[in-house]
Structure 1
Amino acid sequence: MPSKVAIAIVLCAILQITTMTHASGCANHQAKVREVELDPLISSGKTWETSDANYTYYVSVCNGIDSDILSSCNNNAKIANPNTVTVLQMDKKKDCYVAGRSTAVRATNNSIDWLMLVYGGGDSYHNHCSIGRRKAEIFFVCDPDKGLGQPRILEENRVDFECAYTFEWLTSLVCNDRGGSGLSPGSIFLIVFFGLIGSYILFGFLYQRIVNEAKGREQIPNFSFWKKLGNLSADGCDYACRCSEPAPSPPYKPDERHNQLQLDDTDEEEERDDTLLPM
């Protein structure tokens, strides 16, 4: 018993460590929200760039901003925990502000073909947005032709308590039928239908052969029923698909040679009768 308890404790500890590591590595990115996975973006380890009139934004999915980009910031020494920075804002003077971190992320999905990730934990605003922390909202929108796609800054929303940098990311990763990964309802129906038919034939055949000791065609389950059904189907098809009425049989015509023989016999009998009459 103690050994089993020890094993259970070890397994729970391993599971907890795995979960914590995954969470610190921004597990919600590949949050199986409607089974949408962003693993290709995470595994790429890439930092994407987009800009507006005043700022350049750098966005990374889960892996943190590229260290060369962070080191180019004038205030890079003031950026705490740089490996958790996932959204970075840089102005014309190369002063940088953290707009989102992987340690404060949540996923939202209320539709079929889009996913929203919200990164919090950014630097505090100086004068607006109630001096709250910066955050970034990334809308991943289905576009089958974009592949991985890339982010595009839409706006900086400065409504109090709802301030956020809004990005749009057109990608095929959130498409419901990307890469044929999903089956249509018709395909599912056909798979289930033919699966049931196959099971019926297989198990019916085994039952007839083993239990009823049937031989030959009698091993087919419900053979008499299917035979009658086949005959009825054939009759119905013949009736429905017949294009014309059957040709009537030709009328009977007596053989002329037979008629001629009868005439010859009649003449012979008349001659014989004539010879028998008295003179």
Structure 2
Amino acid sequence: MKVFVCPSRRPFLVFWTLTLQLILYGCVVFAAEGIDNCKLLYDSKSDRKILKQLEPLINKSFTVENTNEGESYTYVFQLCGDAGGVPGAGVIQVDSKGSEKKTTVIGLYNSTQAIGGSDWMMLIYRNEKRKAFVMISCNRKADMGQLEVLLEEREREQDCFYLFKVESSAVCPALPSKISTGSILLIIGICLLAVYLIGGFLYQRLIVGAKGMEQFPNYNFWVEVGNLSADGCDFVCRSRNREDSPAYRGVPTEALEEEPEERDDHLLPM
């Protein structure tokens, strides 16, 4: 006699449980590392709030090529990540002129300063002799806009600075709701009424097989409610009785007919 033994499902469940835990752990670690990579120069609550709002742009790479007076440079910006693969670099400059590309680090993300307004934010990446200003402005139509070079000051021996601009919806303020609470409740009520009418009509027609006005859901109930409402309105709103009280009947204007005078001549002796 052969006995079939079902394989145990315990190893299978343990495998998928460990896999799910590793995936969740990796996602959390990846997000935390992205934010923590930016070392703020002034670690304040407001600066942390700005970085938190810019979280959708973390580890995104922005590139722009700028040509001026025969010189061509490519700039790469990455928020809280290694721009162009250069460790510690938030903004780099790549000299595209020549056979060998020369890479210069403009700003480091471990020396970041964050400034914010209502619909814009600015990140300042510092290096020993250079500073990069990255202006991120509000554009609701762009999740990640194109990086632009607004100004370059490269002739100084110290404090050379570069001004960049990029548009993103991440810095846009939340739009206030234009629908009031009463309007929301009214919309919900209309939707529920539509579901009730359409669902009841289909049930009465397809399941019950009703025809005509009987297809209306709970037809008998609503008819009775209508009649009772009409009776109540008639009772409350009508001020005149249907029949006048005898005490208030008007005196008839026509003269009463005189009763015929009874004569007793026949009683006299002849």
TM-score (norm 2): 0.48
More strand by share: 2
More helix by share: 1
